[in-house]
Amino acid sequence: MATMTFDTYAFVKELVQAGMPEEQAEVLARSQAALIAEKLATKQDLKELELCVKRDLKELEVRLKRDMKEMEANLKRDMKEMELHLKHDIQKLEHDMKEMEANLKRDMKEMELRLKHDIQKLEHDMKEMEANLKRDMKEMELRLKRDIQKLERDMKEMELRLKHDLTLRLGSMMVVAIGVVAALVKLL
């Protein structure tokens, strides 16, 4: 770092002329010289700093470009791996879906066969039930016909007995009436 020259003698002289005691002016001149040497930058210092900053920026730019290329390569590699994993997962899913579809088709076929069998069994049972009902209805019809015929016979027999009984009673009543009339005729 370049140093800046500060004329402490001229500074002390001016302060003393302005009325400051010489000892105090010398202390102030020394502290100003130290402060200037320590804190103030020269044009040369600024140029050197500018060169350092430019060099640091250039290094930073190079590092950033290198890091970005490295990051880009890593991202491409990661994306390639992810793509491979995704392709594998998709293939596995497709395989699983095909297998599931085959299982569903097989299960549906089995269910269809069971349903057909159950329907055929129901149809057979219904036909059998229908035949039994027809047979039972025929038997019931025959029994009813026999019962009706028997009732008709019984009613005819009852009618004949009733007619016979009525004829006998009427005949008896006529005999009694004739007897009463004959007795009345004799009495009169």
pLDDT, tens digit, 9 for 90 and up, residues 57-77: 999 999 999 999 999 999 999
Instruction: Tell me the C-alpha distance between 101 and 34, whole Å.
Output: 90
Helix (H, G, I), strand (E, B) or coil at 6: coil
26 Cβ contact list (under 8 Å, min separation 6): 8, 12
* pLDDT average, residue stretch 87-115: 95
Tally the C-alpha atoms within 13 A of residue 111's C-alpha that lie toward its C-beta.
6
Is the pLDDT confidence value at 37 over 80? Answer: no
pLDDT, residue 83, reads: 94
CB atoms near residue 176 (< 10 Å): 10
Residue 131 vs residues 2, 14, 67, 119, 125: alpha-carbon distances, Å: 128, 144, 93, 18, 10
Taking alpha carbons only, the member of 80, 2, 71 closest to residue 41 is 2
67 token code pair:
């890091």
Query: pLDDT class for 135, splitting at 50, 70, 90?
Result: very high
Q: Is 52:22 a contact under the CB 8 Å cutoff?
A: no
* pLDDT average, residue stretch 50-54: 91
Q: Answer whether 0.75 is exceeded by the pTM.
A: no
Is the pLDDT confidence value at 19 over 80? Answer: yes
Instruction: Tell me the C-alpha distance between 75 and 68, whole Å.
Output: 10
Backbone φ/ψ region at 4: left (φ over 0), alpha (ψ -120 to 50), beta: beta
Instruction: Tell me the C-alpha distance between 85 and 79, whole Å.
Output: 10
